[in-house]
Amino acid sequence: MEGIISTRGDVYSFGIVLTETFTRRKPTDEMFVGEMNLKQWIANSLLPDAAIVEVVDADLLGTEEDGDFVSRRDCLSSIMRLALACCAELPKERINMQEALVTLNKIKIKFLKDIKSSKHSA
C-alpha cells in the first residue's frame, strides 16, 4: 500500500499523531528496539494491572494528589485505545474517521462530566 493515498491511511496517520501527542514519543524513538514499538508499548500499558501512567506524558496526567487525576487517567486511556484502533495493521481493521470523531467526542463528554462530578463531590 506504500505510496497509495487512502482514507484508511489517513486514519492510521491520525492514530500515530494521537500517540505522539499524548506520549511525547515517536515511532522511531531509540527506546523501541526489536519487537517493541510505540503501538505495542501503548497496548501493553492498557492491559489489566498495567500502568498507562508510565506511557502518557506526565505533564498531561498530573499527580495522584490532583483532584482530577482519575478523570485525566481514564480520558488518556480512552484516547490511547482510540489511537490503537486507528493504527490497526490491516487497513480493513481500522475504524474510519467518522467513528474516530464520534469516539473522540464521547471521550470529551465523559471527561467533562467526570470533571464536573469531581468538583461537586470535593
Average pLDDT of the residues in 97-103: 97
Whether 2 is in a domain gets the answer: no
Provide the CATH number for the domain around residue 105.
1.10.510.10
Does some domain include residue 110? yes
Cα 93 to chain center, whole Å?
A: 17
Task: List pLDDT tens digits, range 76-94.
Answer: 999 999 999 999 999 999 9
- Report yes or no on 26 lying in a domain: yes
In a domain, 82, yes or no: yes
- Domain membership flag for residue 103: yes
User: Which DSSP symbol is given to 66?
Assistant: S
CB 19 within 8 A of CB 83: yes
User: 105 to each of 15, 35, 39, 117, how far by Cα in Å?
Assistant: 15, 33, 22, 18
**Each residue of 16-26: pLDDT tens digit?**
999 999 999 99
* Angstrom distance (rounded) from CA 89 to CA 111: 29
Q: Is residue 105 part of a domain?
A: yes
Give mean pLDDT, residues 21-47. Answer: 92
Number of domains in the chain: 1
